[in-house]
Amino acid sequence: MKRALVMVAAGGLALAALVGCSSDEPAEAKVLFEPCTGVTAGALQKAGVDPATKVAAGAPAAGWQTCEWTGATVHLKVFSISRTLEEFEKESGTTAFTDETVARRAGRRLAAAAAPNSCDVLFSADQGVIRMVVVKNPTEPATDPCVTLRHMGESIVPTFPA
């Protein structure tokens, strides 16, 4: 699990680097969804992670918030970002993403996952993007982490703002 957590941390650093990029246009202040309080304890328990393992991070002034939780076999991270999905696609290329529906909400899955044990889906929101990342413990039986994300997302994604 430690290896998986390191991979998630590395992905978070890469995301922070992307988030830290700025454009020539002044950014208007956006109220960000706060994942640590917006994702309910009941939704977390139903998804299979322990609400008590919550770790908050992020900098609202820099345009992002994040919260992560750990379960017996997975690690869940939810980012709230003021950047748009179009900005992510422009930087990564539209072919780096595929359509993904989770809990009846359209999203875009980052096809080039950082590790074979992770799945990363971005959802458009009024404030920018809500990003959900699931990392499976590599010692667990081999199953598709995106199947796990879709299953966990049934309880998590409905807590995200439109």
pLDDT exceeds 60 at position 65: yes
Using the predicted structure, report yes or no on whether residue 5 has a pLDDT greater than 50. Answer: no
22 has pLDDT over 50:
no
Radius of gyration in angstroms for the set of CA atoms belonging to the chain, rounded to a whole number: 15
Residue 133 Cα distances to 52, 108, 160, angstroms: 18, 12, 14
One-letter amino acid for residue 45 of the chain: Q
pLDDT tens profile 70-101: 999 999 999 999 999 999 889 887 778 999 99
Predicted confidence at residue 71, as pLDDT, reads 94
CA angle 124, 128, 131 (to 5 degrees): 60
Interatomic CA distance for residues 114 and 96, integer angstroms: 12
Higher pLDDT, 143 or 121: 121
Tokens found for residue 113: 């996952």
> For residue 107, what are the β-bridge partners?
100
Identity of the amino acid at 150? R
In Å, the largest CA–CA distance within the chain is: 47
Tell me what percent of the residues of the chain surpass a pLDDT of 90: 59
Q: Is 19 helix (H, G, I), strand (E, B) or coil?
A: helix
> Quick one: pLDDT at residue 25?
47
Digit-coded pLDDT (tens) for 109-138: 988 655 678 999 999 999 999 999 999 988
